[in-house]
Structure 1
Amino acid sequence: MSKMSGVAFHEVGAGGERAEPASSFVVNARLEALIFRRQMFSWGLAALMMLGYFLFVLSIAYFPSLLGRLITGLAPATWGIPIGLGLLLLPFLIVALYVYRANNVYDREMADMEIGDTA
């Protein structure tokens, strides 16, 4: 039987019988704090993505001349092109940031908790 956030549950095997947990990992305050931090970071990244799209749409609606302004007088490229490309690259950067943090912070903390639990 495992306990998470005050709710007890049993792991069930393939035949419907109760199986023993795969490890003796106990959910504790450190894990709950890690989960909370990870969720807040994820929501922050989602808000950043939404903010980028929202500002782009607002700039199209209220400042179309800004996006239509030429970058230089020599080339027919406008500021809308690099801003639009930046908006296309933003999700990749956000995903890369999350993967980096997940692999270097969250996984390391989980491993520390598992090692500390078995000792």
Structure 2
Amino acid sequence: MATFQELARDYAKRIREALASDGFTSRSRISPQDLRHSRTLQEAKSIKREIDDLIYTQSKNPLSDDDKRKIIEQIDEELGLPRKIQKGYNIVESASNDDLSDLADEIENVLGGKK
């Protein structure tokens, strides 16, 4: 298995590519409606499932919740979201919510380059 940092870097790259594919830019105002059928939403959900299914190479046990959280935090860091902006939710976990307003806010933070 790759390191947590390598995984986070790859996942962040996939999210950035999905954002670009959907045409989201730093000037975009993103609403939950914009996300409903977006590649960004689908990619974030896919990444969440992948993280949930990760296993340790040697023991073949699933990753602990703490290690999953570390990967997700590193994804946010790779996307340029400092901890002070992380409000207890993030792109990957917000994609799993039915209310997409948190995800829209997080995407605007990434696109706006808030640091």
Is this a same-fold pair by TM over 0.5?
A: no
Q: Which has the higher strand share?
A: 1
Q: Which has the higher helix share?
A: 1
